[in-house]
Chains A and B, each alone.
Chain A
Amino acid sequence: MTSVSSASAAFTGRDPGNRLYGPVPDVTEQSGYVEEHPARVGFFTDTSVCIGCKACEVACKEWNTLPMDDSHGVKDALGLSGMSYDNTGQLGANSWRHVAFIEQSRAVDLPMPTFGRPGDDRHDHGPSPAVSGDDVSLANAQQSSVLNAEALSEFDPQTGQSGADKQVRWLMSSDVCKHCTHAGCLDVCPTGALFRTEFGTVVVQGDICNGCGYCVAACPYGVIDQRKDDGRVFKCTMCYDRLTDGLQPACATACPTQSIQFGDLDELQARADARLETLKGQGVETARLYGRDESDGVGGVGAFFLLLDEPEVYGLPPDPIVTTRDLPAMWKAAGKAAVMMVGVAVTAILGSRRS
């Protein structure tokens, strides 16, 4: 067993290319697990089948004994966000799964991967058995009646409008730590509390963390946060304790629609590609994978998503880049600035008369 370093892959001497940025063939091996190690695991969250039940949130809180918090992450507070069914609000130290709810009302045909509301498809059906046959006038009279079921189903009590030009869709998505290939939190952690596990995930060691808070500022997704009365930081561990015992993470186990799928990352990526293909084939033009691309700013993520709208609609950054990509340029600038200081001081000394 070789020693496992909490240092970034960039400075371990392995993998000369793509150390701070870009795709990495085996991030677990790059982190020091050079001998045999389990395959990299991950989450594929398919939001097209999420029903917003929040079973993932509850399962996560129960399994990890997370305290209650309100929509701004205040611990032991009960509060409504006042904006939607989403009272969790955000990921944080006490919420490691967060189901986003977006209600969209547009006067255009919004493609959904499911069928329309009950009653929407009745135009295609023939007359009902009760009016079948030659009594067409009766059928017409019934159809034009405001009391018939079809008219009621098309009537929207919120807007008072009826008709096919009005559609509402709900987007629901269970957000989670992305377990990045190039994890900013792990890169900047000065104590080694954050480390990469043998499963390729990123986990905080609670007995090491000294609450410096650097990871909080470094995460491009705003995932990890500090628990104020505790001082340390907390985030999703992808149920590291369950994984080591051969179990699936709590959220994926609880998900009733398989919106959250857990497994080997390679397998999930193939499954996601196929799912995207299927949806595109069904005419869901807005479907896209988020975090799947290994050439993106964080080298691809371990927990990626199938979204039905732009990432920022769900509160996700559209094009995140790990901050340490620019670190060599920063160190160079700091070195130059330090040399400049010495130069200025020497100039000041040499340019002054001796008293």
Chain B
Amino acid sequence: MVDDVEFTSYYGRQIVKTPVWKSPDVPLYLFLGGAAGSSAILGALADVTDRPALTRAARLTAGGGSILSVVFLIHDLGRPERFLHMLRVLKVTSPLSVGTYILAPFSAAAGATAAVELLGWFPRLKRFGGVVSAIFGGPLATYTGVLLANTAVPSWHEFHTKLPFVFGGSAMAAGGGICMAFTPVGEAEPARKMAILGAGIELAVIRGIEGSESVVAEPYHEGRPGQFMRAAKACTTMGLGLAVVAGRRRWGAVTSGALLAAGSLLTRFGVFEAGIASTKDPKYIVVPQRARMAARAAGAPGKDGGVRFVTP
């Protein structure tokens, strides 16, 4: 935590704009995309190792999650009817553009796979669709970290190398948890293991963010985002513990799976709201930027200090 610091502002008004992204649309998109992505990977691997019940649960989770996440993403646009304008260009500098080209093939493949899984048609095509969605599943779950971090929002940008791992871990906790809850315990072991490992990664990386000395870690502790983060930690920790202890029993699998999914969802809300809160106080812009300037003036080549381009 950081002590109160002196800084100047223009009548206390915020400097950067607060993102116009809506809640719960965007946190739900992050959660569903993550759960779908990790389930798709699990589903393809379960398919090739001949675990039909797990394959089915994973494919339905991936398909349902991806279709719903597309709905939330489009609903969040200011002009939803212009969604296809996203496909005019491909820009590597725009995580949303890259994300569109991940989400489009993923949701097509995962949605189709889930549909034929339900209908029981075209078994070969089903396997192909499952593999395609598995290829795009990882990027779908982790690009959302870049989506948030590649902004001027202080509490997101500062942790730009950590957010993809938070979301990757959180995705596995949620996807593994959901698949574990909907698969007979005899076949659910891989889902349980993925959920446990994912939850561990999620908790560890979030600990790194919350324990940061930076002033922009503050919003993760305070107010509504702080409540979300604490609730997320409680759910994920309990889910993780229960999965280890009682994951082999039906009730244990269902309860811990639900707790892990809830923890993942709350993490997305917490991270989202923390970023929103950090834009509303000029402190989170002025203080770190002043510190950066001071470090540069002192000649200390810190993370952002020191390195300056020289005009020829």
Contact = CB atoms under 8 A, between A and B. Distances in A.
B15 A188 contact: no
Nearest to B186: A355
Interface stretch (A55-63, A82-90, A130-138, A253-261): A82-90
B72 interface: no
A316 B309 contact: no
B88 A321 contact: no
Contact of A220 (B16, B80, B149): B16
B27 interface: no
Contacts of A329: 160-161
Contacts of A218: 150-152
Q: SS class of chain A's interface: helix, strand, loop or mixed?
A: loop
Interface string B280-294: 001001100110110
29 contacts: A6-B91, A23-B311, A188-B151, A191-B88, A191-B89, A192-B89, A208-B82, A210-B78, A213-B77, A218-B152, A310-B8, A315-B10, A315-B15, A321-B304, A323-B151, A327-B95, A330-B145, A333-B160, A338-B138, A338-B141, A340-B165, A340-B168, A341-B37, A341-B171, A345-B45, A348-B191, A348-B193, A353-B189, A354-B50
A318 B118 CA distance: 57
A53 interface: no
B127 interface: no
Interface residues of B, number: 89
B92 interface: yes
A153 interface: no
A251 interface: no
A188 B95 contact: yes
Interface string B118-140: 00000000000000000001110
B198 interface: yes
Contacts of A193: 85
Q: SS class of chain B's interface: helix, strand, loop or mixed?
A: helix
Contacts of B198: 344
Given A217-B153, A313-B10, A329-B161, 7 more contacts: A187-B94, A188-B95, A217-B151, A222-B14, A333-B162, A333-B165, A341-B37
Contacts of B290: 318-319
B96 A212 contact: yes
B210 interface: no
Interface of B: 7-11, 13-17, 19-21, 37-38, 41-42, 45-46, 49-51, 76-80, 82-83, 85-86, 88-89, 91-97, 100, 137-139, 141-143, 145-146, 149-153, 157, 160-165, 167-168, 171-172, 176, 186-187, 189-194, 197-198, 201, 282, 285-286, 289-290, 292-293, 304, 308-311
A295 B145 contact: no
B89 A188 contact: no
Interface residues of A, number: 90
A176 interface: no
Contacts of B78: 209-213, 226, 230-233
Contacts of B96: 188, 190, 212, 214
Contacts of B46: 349
A213 B168 contact: no
Contacts of B171: 341
Nearest to B141: A341
A336 B138 CA distance: 10
B100 A326 contact: no
A11 B160 contact: no
Nearest to A315: B10
B79 A189 contact: no
B242 to A, nearest CB: 17
A145 interface: no
B138 A317 contact: no
A148 interface: no
A338 B100 CA distance: 17
B11 A83 contact: yes
Closest CB pairs A-B (n = 9):
A211-B78, A231-B78, A315-B10, A338-B138, A210-B82, A348-B193, A190-B97, A22-B309, A337-B168
B193 to A, nearest CB: 4
A121 interface: no
Contacts of A326: 149-150, 157, 160
A227 to B, nearest CB: 8
A190 B89 contact: yes
B50 to A, nearest CB: 8
Given A187-B94, A190-B89, A327-B150, A213 B79 contact: no
B21 A217 contact: yes
A352 B189 contact: yes
